[in-house]
Amino acid sequence: MAISLEDLNSRMRIPPEETARRLERYIQDRVDRLERDGVILGLSGGVDSAVLAVLCRRALGPGRTLALMMPERDSRPEHIRDALSLAESWGIETRRIDLTPHLRKLNVYDLLPLSRVPFAHGLRAFANRKLSSRYRQKTGESVFAASLTGLRGNAYGRMIGRRTAYFRVKQRLRMVVLYLYGEIENRLVAEAANRSEYLIGYFVKHGCDHAADILPLLHLYKTQVRELARFLGIAPRIIDKPPSPDHIPGVLDEAAIGIPYEQLDLILLGRDLGWDAEDIARALSIDRKKIEDVETMVRRSEHMRTLDALEPPPPAGGTEA
């Protein structure tokens, strides 16, 4: 079957008003079904958490959505400003909890080079970009792709392991804080993972973008989240700024993943539709290697999306047929 870029783009579009209404009903239903008084979420200043916050506010009305801002030493001030601006414009309650002292007690900041240099965010960002670039040149893959599985036999394993531990603990600590206040105040923990990042493993297992009571945006690709954000009237500054996890200086999503979200989403959509890799590459006018890289990330991260448990043995005392 011949496929085209126009066909993929057409299938990627969503009816934003209908999608927003459906998600708001879902949020309201889960809050009521689980007998909670509201929701709690992490508000980072990025588009995903902004969309989630606005949907929760629209679904539940005033006073029932609490947004936690949980910055730490590596967080960029502009992201906090964007989060505060969004919350103020929508009347969403916020609290700020600085994670830096807790991370220092765990010696997290000692895991990466230049960690002890004060006021050296720019230097740390430069060092991280150089490390990532060097690894890609040497191995042909990204540090992110390598971190999706174990590092046995990897010559750069120690460096990647320390780097991975450095950022993952931050997301897991945020999850702990969200559940702490959620349970104290009888709130449902909501988080903003999207389908694009979930499928390729660009999230932290048991972190705040994975462990939650509800994940309303999990069926939406990143570009669909942006489309929904425009419908909801979220500031273009938040929608258009380069996505960043904001937990390692110098790291941007698309550089870490190795492909723009616009291409990634269309590859994933074609894959979800069962289309052949060669046909997807031809429709997008890209090298098939990029399709293979995405497939590798999906395959390597499968363990992050499944619970690996031993099957129970058959009941004792049975008789053979």
Which domains does the chain possess?
5-304 (3.40.50.620)
- What the block records as the tokens of 112 is 């990466």
What are the residue ranges of helices labelled H in 115-156? Answer: 121-139, 143-146
E-strand stretches of 157-231: 187-189
Q: Are 177 and 70 in contact (CB under 8 A)?
A: yes
Rounded CA separation 256/85 (Å): 28
| Integer Rg of the chain from CA | 21
Q: Are 64 and 37 in contact (CB under 8 A)?
A: yes
Rounded CA separation 290/293 (Å): 5
In what order do the strands lie in the sheet containing 65-69? 93-96, 65-69, 38-42, 187-189
Residues in the chain predicted with pLDDT less than 70, given as ranges, are 1-2, 114-120, 317-321
Please report the pLDDT score of residue 321 as a whole number: 44
For 218, counting Cβ atoms within 10 Å of its Cβ (0-12 exposed, 13-18 middle, 19+ buried), the class is middle
**Chain segment 38-69, per-residue pLDDT in tens:** 999 999 999 999 999 999 999 999 999 999 99
- What the block records as the tokens of 174 is 């945020």
Please report the pLDDT score of residue 12 as a whole number: 96
For 14, counting Cβ atoms within 10 Å of its Cβ (0-12 exposed, 13-18 middle, 19+ buried), the class is middle
Please report the pLDDT score of residue 224 as a whole number: 98
Task: Name the CA dihedral angle for 276, 277, 282, 286, rounded to a multiple of 10 degrees.
Answer: 160
**Chain segment 193-247, per-residue pLDDT in tens:** 999 999 999 999 999 999 999 999 999 999 999 999 999 999 999 999 999 888 8
